[in-house]
Amino acid sequence: MPPDPAEVAAALIPELEAQEQRLVLRGFTHEDAWHLGSLLVELARLREAPVAVDIRRGRQQLFHCALPGSSADNDAWIDRKRRVVERYGESSYLVGNRFRAKGTTFEASSRLDLDHYAAHGGSFPLRVEGAGVIGAVTVSGLPQAEDHALVVEALDRFLTV
C-alpha cells in the first residue's frame, strides 16, 4: 500500500520548520545576494541542473541566472513560488506540506489565484535577525523537493562562510 500523502507531509514539517529556524541571516546586502546567487549557480552547474535562480529583497530583484536547460516557464514558477513566501513568510515547500498534512492541497484550499501562487518547493524566505522576512531566494527547474534542498544547501554553506 502506498504511503499516505498526509502522513508523509506531516512527517516532513518538523524538519522544514527546523531549517527555517536555523537559516537566519545576520544581515543581507546586495553583495550577499551576489555571493549566495553565485553559490547556487555553482552548485547547480556541478550537478548539471537545468535551473533558474532568483534572489529578491522586497520587490527588488538582486540576482537572477538561467542555466542551460531552463526556460521562461521556470521564471514563471519562480514568481509563483516567491509569492507564497511573501504571503506566508515560510518556504513554499513548507506551505505546500502544511496543506497536504491536513489532507488537502494548496490548490484546493488556499483560495488564491493559482496563476499567481504555487506552494511547490524551491522558494525560501530570507530571514534576517531582528528584521524578519526581507525577501526570498528561489530555484526552479528540478522536482520540488530537489529545488528546496538545493536552496537549503546553499544557505547552509553561505552561513558558514
Domain boundaries, the chain: 5-160
Residues 6+ positions from 2 with CB-CB distance below 8 Å:
none
pLDDT tens per residue, range 122-151: 999 999 999 999 999 999 999 999 999 999
Q: Give the DSSP letter string of 42-57.
A: HHHHHTT---EEEEEE
pLDDT bucket at 1, cuts 50 / 70 / 90: confident
Give me the chain's average pLDDT, please: 97
Round to whole Å and give the CA distance between 140 and 54: 9
- Per-residue pLDDT tens digits for 57-89: 999 999 999 999 999 999 999 999 999 999 999
Encoded amino acid at 103, one letter: G
User: Can you tell me the distance from the alpha carbon of 85 to that of 7, in angstroms, rounded to the nearest whole number?
Assistant: 23
Beta carbons within 10 angstroms of residue 42's beta carbon: 12
Report d(CA 41, CA 64) in Å as an integer.
10
- CATH code for the part of the protein at 5-160: 3.30.450.150
